[in-house]
Structure 1
Amino acid sequence: MTNEKTLPENLRGVHFHFVGIKGTGMVALVEILNSRGAKITGSDVSEHFYTDDVLDSLGIKALPFSRSNITPSVNYVIYSSAYSAEKNPDLIEAASRGIPMMLYSEALGAISRTAYSCGVCGVHGKTTTTGLCGTILEDLDLPSQVLAGSVIASFGNSCTMTSPLCKSSDHHYFVAETCEYQRHFMAFFPQKIILTSVESDHQDYYPTYNDIRDAFVDYIMRLPHGGTLIYCADDKGACETAEIARSKRSDIRFIPYGEKAQGDYSLKIGKVSAGKHAFSLACTGELSIRVPGDHNVRNAAAAVALCRELLAEDKKNPADYTKKIAASLEKFRGGKRRSEIVARAVSPCGQEIIVIDDYGHHPTAVASTLAGYRDFYRGHKIIVDFMSHTYTRTAALLDEFASSFSSADSVIINKIYASAREDASAAPVTGKILAEHTAKKHPDVTYAAEFEEAAECALKKLSVPSGPKYPDGYVFVTMGAGDNWKAGKLLLEKLKNLGCEVKL
């Protein structure tokens, strides 16, 4: 059973070898274990990822996969679910030596047992909400560690935040992004949970909405007696999940947040002005964030709720920290591939181009993120290059995807980014089919299967003045859980070659 995996309380000098060390979650775990004094080695493919920069900062170099990586000093092996214990040489050698092996999710669960742990879950918004929690907690006098599923700018371009107070305290709070895919979060030991959203996703594992909803219910059931669920009252699926959990466990504290919520975390969403999105909570008054979208305002409300509840758990008065929390929120600048501004450039006709990369890969996330850009960048014309992730998701949500681009002025659709678990040749849908369906609902859609073609298409559109409706220029967005960020990179290279100014 995954919930039986344990680690020593004192990790100083314990040697962990990571297989697939460049994965974002794996790197975050490396940072946590490194901060606790563990010795780290790891292996992965040679291709360069942005996580290499995090590993470099820790003095860790990813080795090629090899049985020789498993030396006598290795105490534990942690591996990504992308690698097979029967095929990967590191894992084969570790098994032959009888070295304890854990999946990433199991290791995260083992770490969660050593602290007062809180899990952030939901189909959308997990990473941003976790990043917001860490940005606030860093400024509070609570010994805390936070693990997000991506690099967070306000963490110093790291995946984790470790409060200096952890060094002088045996007791600390641990907040982690916890993933619903294949029920990975069932290895986690939460005292409190944030639930942002529940709807159909990961159709390869959860064929129906009820399947994924019930997984979230089961996760909530892992709360101890008197545990806390903080859930979004504006999300139908989250509310339904909370009600089912309430019918099973009357001992759990249910704390809603959102515009439809009653109580401390009743939310009023304000206007966007001067690069800030204003909002207010019943318990704090006026607050603001510097990232776009009503969905991110809700994520901020969830983060404020958890941090205030942790202050109360620590016998502190949350009201005394309102100003600190407000200041912390304004420091948040998003995460890697989460509305990340990767460059600012000047178009061939002299207009501003803001180049953004975003991980949005579900129709709800695509629509809400683009709507946020439309509100935040009102004077800019929006061009989105979208690469759908997995054939199963695209097929199951084809009509929803086709209807999700209304806030963009121009849409470019790439080929589908397949999961390693899929047989693309047997799929009932393609990127071209998605583009054809989208064209029935949007007036400006282009199918560009490859990134070179997409970059050329974008350059052509950006070379035309944006018009009087959009006096400020353009926003160009690469969106999806695939690798179409490469289309943005190619576009920037083409702009440079034309002599246009590009600032990364």
Structure 2
Amino acid sequence: MLSVKDIQAVYFIGIGGIGMSALARYFVSLGKSVSGYDKTATPLTAALEKEGIPVHYEENLQIIPKDVQLVVYTPAVPSSHAELIFYLQCGYTVMKRSEVLGIISNSSFNICIGGTHGKTTTTSMTAHILRHTGYGCNAFLGGIAVNYGTNFWSDPRNVAVIEADEYDRSFLRLHPDIAVISSMDPDHLDIYGTEEALQDAFIAFSQQVKAGGTLFSKHGLPRGSALNAGRHYTYSLQNESADAYAKDITMHDGSYRFSVALPGGGIDGFTLHMGGMHNVENAVVSIAIAHQLGIEPAAIVDAVEKFQGVKRRFEYVIRNSRMVFIDDYAHHPEELRALITGAKTLYPGRKCTVIFQPHLFSRTHDLADEFASSLDLADDVVLLPIYPARELPMPGVTSEMIRDRMKSDYVKVVKREDLTNYIKNEYVPAANLEFGELLITAGAGDIDALVQPVKELLEKI
């Protein structure tokens, strides 16, 4: 088996991906030579280049390194990619990101957090608690932790906190000592085919937990009784039938105060400065993990209060009496439902406008009715065209497919390049600044590149 000790140089195909960049930063932390390719330049690839990692943006066999011991690629890269074909045909060691993560975590104590949604915030919050309290961990995150401005950090303690990705069954290469399953809602049906097959994969993930390990799963999951581990606890937002849950929740100025009931006890006095009741639930399981590790309750309370969230997870872009602008990565109907419900609960009485960019033709096709139902919770909805990511167009599958299923009075499809004109010429003139406006941008594609231009327009009113 390949050993990390034998690797001096690593090349990444798709280095700008959130999981790939975390691995790239890991190898840099070990003093390895790292370089990579990505299709487009982004703020994340710019950050990697600033950290000393060479990145290029064209498939070019003349400039790729030939003296590497490992080539890592993401499943999002097509099999026809010229660089990938070259390395495969020339006999290089070529591995998926998930395979490399499996090797790295082979000899560590692993806290692996999975679920069709909620995993990025929960992973980041758990890793933050361990870091802030001085317990220590290596962190492989699926988002940028605002406290630290990165998706990876290293620590002498041989503990790894890992976001366990269900896409392409990647998480089945991990062997957790502690595992979390936050949700098993239908997603990635292009890979799994059926909801039952997706659930089967999560059941298999639960069986990856090491002997004597612990599983935390959300209370009430479908087929939850089939989840299998040495110790199995459930958690919930407020359901007292769960082993861990929040109680005495109050809201104050966009933050939550609460206590947490835990197996064998509880901890009082938490404050979470992150919007959305679903994030209180995410905090419950992060707190339960820290408690099981023996971290002092007072230190856990302090760490939760100091947690600043994750980039693009209920991220406040503007927050004042006239305008609240939230940006979020939500790209699944249940994520949208939690996002819109949470925002409207925190800011009742404000008109809620959601700008949503669907992600993947297959997901839009499979879940169009569910997207329509979730988006109907908003007052006004603007849909951007579908972001294709790794997919080719599917006949008849467009954002209009969602629009036509919605019941809301105001649903509009706007070209991506026309969004700023919509904000300037339609949204701003109609804004009710006396009662305050609530604007949400959501999606996992390139809608994040529009956040700053929209912010600049809104700051002028």
2:242 & 2:306 partners in 1: Cα distance?
26
1:389 corresponds to which of 359, 365, 369: 359
2:118 aligned with 1:129: no
Please name the residue that 1:182 is paired with.
Answer: 168
**8 Å contact from structure 2 (residues 244, 260) kept in 1:** yes
How far is 1:107 from its partner? 0.9
Query: Of 70, 77, 84, which residue of structure 2 is paired with 1:76?
Result: 70
Cα separation, partners in 2 of 1:413 and 1:72, compared to 1, 3 Å: closer
Match of residue 412 from structure 1:
382
Aligned to 2:226: 244
**Which residue of 1 is the match for residue 422 of structure 2?**
457
TM-superposed deviation, 1:189: 2.0
Contact 1:135 1:331 in 2 (8 A): no
- Listed as ranges, the matches of 1:87-486 within 5 Å are 87-154=80-147, 156-163=148-155, 166=156, 169=157, 172-233=158-219, 235-237=220-222, 240-241=223-224, 243-246=225-228, 252-258=230-236, 259-262=238-241, 265-268=244-247, 270-282=249-261, 283-309=266-292, 311=293, 317-318=294-295, 321-343=296-318, 352-378=322-348, 380-424=350-394, 426-427=395-396, 429-438=397-406, 440=407, 442-448=408-414, 450-459=415-424, 460-466=426-432, 471=435, 473-486=436-449
TM-score normalised by length of structure 1? 0.84
| Structure 2: segments with no counterpart, 5+ residues | none
Change (3 A) 1:467 1:158: closer
Aligned length: 454
The 8 Å contact of residues 18 and 77 in structure 1, kept in 2 or not, is answered as yes
Q: In 2, distance between residues paired with 1:266 and 1:22?
A: 37
Alignment check: 8 A CA contact 2:323 2:433 kept: no
The C-alpha deviation readout for 1:58-90, integer Å capped at 9, x for no partner, is: 2112024333445453111111222245x3333
Query: Normalized against structure 2, the TM-score is what?
Result: 0.91
**4+ residue stretches of structure 1 with deviation over 4 A?**
261-264, 493-496
C-alpha distance 71-431 of structure 1, shift in aligned 2 (>3 A): closer
| Contact 1:374/1:407 (<8 A) preserved | no
Shift of 1:153: 0.4
Structure 1: distance between partners of 2:307 and 2:153? 13
Shift of 1:180: 0.7
Please state how far the C-alpha of 1:277 moved relative to its aligned partner.
1.1
- What 5-or-longer segments of structure 1 have no aligned partner? 312-316, 346-350
- Percent identical: 28
Amino acid at match of 1:196: S
Indicate conservation of the 8 Å contact 1:451/1:486, yes or no. no
Q: 1:432 and 1:451 mapped to 2: Cα distance? A: 14
Give, as a single letter, the amino acid of the residue that structure 1 aligns with 2:427. K
Measured after TM superposition, the shift of residue 274 of structure 1 is 2.4
Contact 1:272 1:375 in 2 (8 A): no
| Matched letter for residue 332 of structure 2 | H
Q: Which residue is 2:3 aligned to?
A: 7
Moved more, 285-294 or 360-369: 285-294
* TM-superposed deviation, 1:195: 0.7
Shift of 1:185: 0.9
| Residues in 2 aligned to 1:195 and 1:212: alpha-carbon distance in whole angstroms | 13
Q: Cα offset for 1:120? A: 0.6
Distance 1:392 1:490 in 2: 29
Per-residue deviation, residues 358-404 of structure 1 (Å, max 9, x unmatched): 11111111011111111223364321101112222222222221111
* Change in 2 beyond 3 A, CA 1:196/1:398: same
Please give the alpha-carbon distance, in whole angstroms, between the structure 2 residues aligned to 1:482 and 1:147. Answer: 21
Cα offset, 1:416, TM superposition: 1.9
Q: CA deviation at 1:454?
A: 3.2
State the 1:288 CA deviation: 2.0
- The DSSP-based 3-state class of the residue aligned with 2:55 is coil
Please give the per-residue CA displacement for 1:189-248, whole angstroms capped at 9, x wherever unaligned: 212111101111112122221111001001111112222111111x433xx23x1124xx
The letter for the 1-side match of 2:416 is F
Q: What RMSD, in angstroms, separates the aligned Cα atoms of the two structures?
A: 2.4
d(CA) in 2 for partners of 1:263 and 1:369? 23
User: Cα gap change, 1:407/1:263 in structure 2, threshold over 3 Å: closer, same or farther?
Assistant: closer
User: How far does residue 117 in structure 1 lie from its aligned partner after superposition?
Assistant: 1.1
Rounded Cα–Cα distance in structure 2 between residues aligned with 1:185 and 1:194: 12
| Partner amino acid, structure 1, of 2:98 | S
State whether residues 221 and 245 of structure 1, in contact with CA within 8 Å, keep that contact through their aligned partners in structure 2.
yes
